Structure 1
Amino acid sequence: MSSATTTTTTNSAANPPKSPKKMNGKLSLFSHIKYEHMVAGISGGVTSTLILHPLDLIKIRFAVNDGRVAAPQYRGLSSAFVTIFRQEGFRGLYKGVTPNAWGSGSAWGFYFLFYNTIKGWIQGGNAAQPLGPALHMLAASEAGILTLLMTNPIWVVKTRLCLQYENKLDLTSNENYRGMMDGLIKIYKTEGVKGLYRGFVPGMFGVSHGALQFMTYEEMKNSYNEYRKLPIDTKLTTAEYLTFAAISKLIAAAATYPYQVIRTRLQDKNHSYKGTWDCIKKTYSYEGIYGFYKGLKPNLTRVVPASCITFVVYENVSHFMLKRRKDK
């Protein structure tokens, strides 16, 4: 073999093509799927849900309380905890936890799987290649849409289970549910597929929440590693993951919270709206701007630590599993 041929072969091995466009598009995309991201995402989502579900339940009850439907009244976060515990017991604080754990676990699992697959495809398999804010937003948005399509029915059931007040329960009625599967079946029988996808339109707007959070989180990590003159995919400490997760979640939550109120009210069977725009108009008409931010305090109290727990668990589990794959 000639030296020129040897040099060409060596260069080709050392510098594989960076652009996924040089390969078959379909094969290129699927070659970046790594189940470790899904397992790590599920682990983080379920862990944070089991710890913080009571705050999620209280946030939902605050969000739907517009003063026009019969619902318990709470003076604040601590008052809500005490009232629910007295009236419904410890189990009352964990109403809807099963679909919430399923929904959160599957949502984070699918989200991290889709996001990292799309991100890896854009990077051409080079994890050390920075994408920039625009491409991070694009990857996160596409992952969010795919995740929402798969998990919206679970969120509908979770919302309705959280809004089954003790004094209104009649489990023989089609309007009340014994659990997640019973809820899915009853909603499908009485409302069809449309019922399972209530709140989907504002949920689409909510994709911007995840996109903004992931873009902020990734850019902060990348900038921090570049400042330290390290590859952008270098593993950070737990404290550093916690800090970046908290900041990115606060920014995203403050910017996009109103869609969550609209989505929750559309999913609540105690309210009757003709659609998303009707819900927005009525909320503003009866409650003003404040109505779009009901439940923000318990939401921030929940989502910031939830995000921190999820991301720390995800980062550590994924790094551990991917390292094992590499070592094998």
Structure 2
Amino acid sequence: MALDFGFGFVAGVTGTIAGYPFDTVKVRLQTQTLNHRLYSGSLDCFIKIAKQESILGFYKGMTSPMFGVAIINGIVFSIQNTSKGLFDNPDTYFSLAVTGAIAGCVQSFICSPIELVKTRLQMQGIGQQRKLFALSTHLYKGPIDCMKKSYTRQGFRYGVLRGLSMTLARDIPSFAAYFPAWQFFVSHFSPTGKEADMPMYMSLIGGAFTGIAAWTVSYPFDVIKSRYQAARDHAYKNVWDCAVKSFRMEGWQVFTRGFLPCTLRAIPTNAFTYPVYSFLKRTFDTPLDDNDETLVTTKIVTTSKPMSSTTTSTPAIASI
């Protein structure tokens, strides 16, 4: 178990580093308003961050999600595997959706504070650029300082857990879509119905496919979550007020803002995470047995094709 956690941790770090620049662009686009429009689109945002803040600008706030990914993935796959006991046939698409939703619900309570810190640090400029970010009125030295100031100013419920309801609204449908999506991909593109028998390039494509599917069904909630977490203390009464005001001012397009960099992020994040884990597992530990029904901590859970006894392994999804 300790080795598996270590492998998952390294794989999670790799996936986070690969996809984090796209996440920074996504958050910047999500949180800008019509009154403070700094970027005309994804490419413009990439260029301006690179010019004004250097490559380090793309990796602001990465520490907390990077170390949190391993913990979150461990919770997701442990809860999802345990929840299968609720069903006589746990490997149908419906069962996978329900167990995924339960896992998404539980991990949200850890994921939300981590993303609060990440979002607020991503919204900070470097040097004079701090003045450009109207939503970042309080500057933080790092993740710990950000968490301390959030707690001091707003308490635990409205500070540390700010945006929890939107995290729940996002992650419950997201993980409910993820596990069935991976099962669908494997059952249609593996010659034997087993993930192990798919070529490496198909595993990479499958990881990207499931990541994009999970984000597509939940993305509007992520926009509101990011706006609410990054906003001034009294900009919105609650997340519903944030959603209503955003819609009235900017129309329905506001709920898709930043979707392109989000999908671009999902591709390398999900494509890198599982291959790295698999490589470490093969190199430093014994190979997985196809008949093993045991959960592999943080990165692999053994599932079955719907209405079948064929075994497949599921690559981890990066939640932040």
Residue in 2 that maps onto 1:67? 34
Q: Is the 8 A contact 2:29 2:42 kept in 1?
A: no
Residue 163 of structure 2 is matched in structure 1 by: 199
**1:114 aligned partner:** 79
Aligned in 2, Cα 1:141/1:90: closer, same or farther, shift over 3 Å?
Answer: same
Contact kept in structure 1, 2:151 and 2:160, CA below 8 Å:
yes
Q: Which has the larger radius of gyration?
A: 1
Structure 1 segment 247-326 matched on structure 2, within 5 A? 247-270=209-232, 272-317=235-280, 323=286
State the match for 1:80 in structure 2.
45
Higher relative contact order (CA 8 A, sep 6+): 2
What amino acid sits opposite 1:295 in the alignment? Answer: G
Q: Distance in 2 between matches of 1:256 and 1:135?
A: 19
> Where do 5+ consecutive residues of structure 2 fail to align?
293-320
TM-score, normalisation: structure 2: 0.77
| Paired amino acid for 1:179 | G
> For 1:51, which of 18, 37, 41 is the aligned residue?
18
Output the CA distance in 2 between the equivalents of 1:321 and 1:212.
Answer: 32
Q: Which letter does structure 2 place at the counterpart of 1:135? A: S
Q: CA–CA distance in 1 between the matches of 2:167 and 2:129?
A: 28
Among 83, 99, 119, which residue is 1:159 paired with? 119
| Cα distance in structure 2, aligned partners of 1:300 and 1:59 | 9
Where does residue 140 of structure 2 map in the other structure? 177
Q: Secondary structure at the match of 1:175?
A: coil
The one of 96, 103, 110 equivalent to 1:143 is: 103
Per the TM alignment, residue 290 of structure 1 is displaced from its structure 2 partner at its CA by 0.3
State the match for 1:103 in structure 2. Answer: 68
Q: Is the 8 A contact 1:35 1:113 kept in 2?
A: no
Counterpart residue type for residue 159 of structure 1: T
C-alpha deviations, 1:213-259, integer Å up to 9, x for none?
A: 2221023324555x62x6x5755432221122222222222222111
Alignment map for 1:21-32 (pairs within 5 Å):
none
Distance 1:325 1:249 in 2: 23
Shift of 1:112: 2.8
> Which range is displaced more, 257-266 or 173-182?
173-182
Tell me which amino acid in the other structure corresponds to 1:203. T
Shift of 1:324: 5.5
> Which AA in structure 1 matches 2:28?
R
CA contact (8 A) 2:90 2:96 kept: no
Q: Distance in 2 between matches of 1:36 and 1:123?
A: 30
Give RMSD over aligned pairs: 3.0
- Give the aligned residue type for 1:301: L
Using the alignment, how far apart are the partners of 1:44 and 1:289 within structure 2?
A: 36
- 2: CA distance, partners of 1:294 / 1:309: 25
Structure 2 distance, partners of 1:179, 1:263, is: 21
Percent identity over the alignment is: 27
Which amino acid counterpart does residue 227 of structure 2 have in structure 1? R
Q: TM-score, normalised by structure 1?
A: 0.75
Cα distance between partner residues in 1 of 2:98 and 2:179: 10
Say if 1:216 and 1:248, in contact at 8 Å, map to a contact too: yes
- Structure 1 CA distance for aligned equivalents of residues 189 and 74 of structure 2: 26
The answer to whether the 8 Å contact 1:96/1:159 transfers is: yes
CA separation of 1:82 and 1:287: change in aligned 2, threshold 3 A? same
**8 A Cα contact 1:37 1:116, kept in partner:** no
**Unmatched 5+ stretches in structure 1:** 1-33
The code of the aligned residue for 1:282 comes to K
Once the 2 structures are TM-superposed, how far is the Cα of residue 56 of structure 1 from its aligned partner? 0.9
**Aligned partners of 1:41 and 1:110 also within 8 Å:** no
In 2 relative to 1, CA 43–111 (structure 1 residues): closer, same or farther, beyond 3 Å?
Answer: farther
Structure 1 contact 99–180 (Cα < 8 Å) conserved: yes
Q: Measure, in 1, the Cα distance between the counterparts of 2:137 and 2:214.
A: 37
Q: 1:51 is aligned with what amino acid?
A: A
Q: Aligned-pair distance for 1:123?
A: 8.1
Q: Deviations over 1:56-101 (max 9, x none)?
A: 1111000001223x46x12333322221122222222221111231
Richer in helix (by share): 1
Q: How many residues align?
A: 282
